[in-house]
Amino acid sequence: MTSTVRVELGDRSYPIVIGPGLLDSPRHYEPWLRGRQAVLVASATVSGLHGPGVERALQPSCSRYLRIVVPDGEAQKCWETLDRLHGELIAWGADRRTVLLALGGGVIGDLVGFAAATFQRGVDFIQIPTTLLAQVDSSVGGKTAINHALGKNLIGAFHQPIAVLSDTETLNTLPDRELAAGLAEVIKYGIIHDSAFFAWMEAHLHELLRRDAAALTFAIRRSCEIKAEIVAQDEREHGRRALLNLGHTFGHAIESLTGYGAWLHGEAVAAGTVLASTLAHRMGRLSSDDLGRITRLLEQAGLPVRPPSLPLDGWLTAMGRDKKNEGGRITLILPEGIGAASVNREVPANTLEALLSGR
């Protein structure tokens, strides 16, 4: 059964449609593509799995159609691939009414979203997320970006999609490691916002890991509800939206310092979440019981709970480039128990440095 969560942003509001069998169904494309040109951009693996089905379903609605395939991997969130997309759009004759469709995980969503934000000063795009991570997080909220060699997601724009189509059946082919990476972001919502959801995950983790459809659908829907609520309140991250970055300042540093792709984004976020929780515990804001519950749930999900060994100056340089920082101060999201979190700009340097040095 299909359900819909709405992201309420005035005239830029949009639906997140969640359910099985969406990709192959023409009626899910028709309202958005009616008579318009459409360009489907898919990652290589997903193009092979779902490209033909999506193509058959969207072609009756659109006037003209192109598919572009991008190699798999985080390294594609770069200027060269962005430039290639722009070049193909121009050569094919895309115009301002052309709709881009991003079929794949968060890499494709972020890349195509940024291409849509920048092509001819902004064209419409639809997110068709096919990883758990993309279905619960990256396809929602309009953050689009590419990476820079000096830091993660540093070049980007806010550009909301006109619709998100989350086909839960696509998760059947997702490798276990990618499924676990998505669970890191699901667990994040429980920690920052919803203790009952966190407790539900503790009780139902085995069902999520064996891809029980009802459990996964519930987790995706609840995650989208939480993200939609936060984005509606603070689209441009002037305040509360930063909470969605729990574990990410550490995580982004891990991703950039280890070379994009060695650690999956969700894995880096998991290790980063344990670092943030340990820091909160040392600062007297999180009980040892809650620190244990967070670490255990991430570990049981198959995620790393310890960071790689990295030099302290590397950590501090990478974390110093995070977008949340202000006035040269590292900004960190810290859990305050399970179900609440806060933005912190006053973390004692010696406490942070001891943590990053493994002490």
Catalog residues that contact ligand GLY under the rule CB under 6 A.
137, 141, 143, 241, 244-245
Cβ atoms 202, 293 nearer than 8 A: yes
Partner touching 170 among ligand NAD, ligand GLY, none, CB below 5 to 8 Å by kind:
ligand NAD
Partner touching 51 among ligand NAD, ligand GLY, none, CB below 5 to 8 Å by kind:
none
Least Cα distance to 100 among 68, 139, 137, 138 occurs for 68
74 a catalytic residue: no
Cβ atoms 165, 28 nearer than 8 A: yes
Report the nearest approach of ligand NAD to the CB of residue 175 (Å).
6
Q: By beta-carbon distance, which residue lies closest to ligand NAD?
A: 106
28 a catalytic residue: no
Least Cα distance to 132 among 187, 164, 70, 178 occurs for 178
Partner touching 241 among ligand GLY, ligand NAD, none, CB below 5 to 8 Å by kind:
ligand GLY
| Nearer residue to ligand NAD within complex by CB, 235 or 290 | 235
DSSP 47-101: HHHHHHHHHHHHTTT-SEEEEEEE-SSGGGSSHHHHHHHHHHHHHHT--TT-EEE
Residues near 330 by beta carbon (within 8 Å), at least 6 away in sequence = 249, 316, 319, 320, 322, 345, 347, 352
Q: What are the φ/ψ torsions at residue 310 (nearest 5 degrees)?
A: -135, 150
Q: What are the φ/ψ torsions at residue 166 (nearest 5 degrees)?
A: -105, 100
Report the nearest approach of ligand NAD to the CB of residue 181 (Å).
5
| Nearer residue to ligand GLY within complex by CB, 77 or 143 | 143
324 a catalytic residue: no
Q: Go through 299-319 and write b for each residue having 16 or more CB atoms within 10 A of its CB, e for each that does not.
A: eebbbbbebeeeeeeebeebb
Cβ atoms 223, 244 nearer than 8 A: no
Which residue of 170, 217, 249, 256 would you call a contact of ligand NAD, by CB under 6 A?
A: 170
Distance of alpha carbon 106 from alpha carbon 76, whole angstroms: 11
Of 28, 252, 285, 293, the active-site residue reads: 252
Taking CB under 6 A as the rule, does residue 166 contact ligand NAD? Answer: no
Of 248, 281, 285, 293, the active-site residue reads: 248
252 a catalytic residue: yes
Instruction: Mark residues 45-74: x for contact with ligand NAD by CB under 6 A, - for none.
Output: xx--x----------------------x-x
Report the nearest approach of ligand NAD to the CB of residue 73 (Å).
6
Judged by the rule CB under 6 A, the positions of this chain that interact with ligand NAD are 43, 45-46, 49, 72, 74, 77, 104-108, 110, 130-131, 133-134, 137-138, 141, 143, 153, 170, 173-174, 178, 181, 264-266
Catalytic residue numbers, as ranges: 121, 143, 185, 227, 237, 241, 245, 248, 252, 265
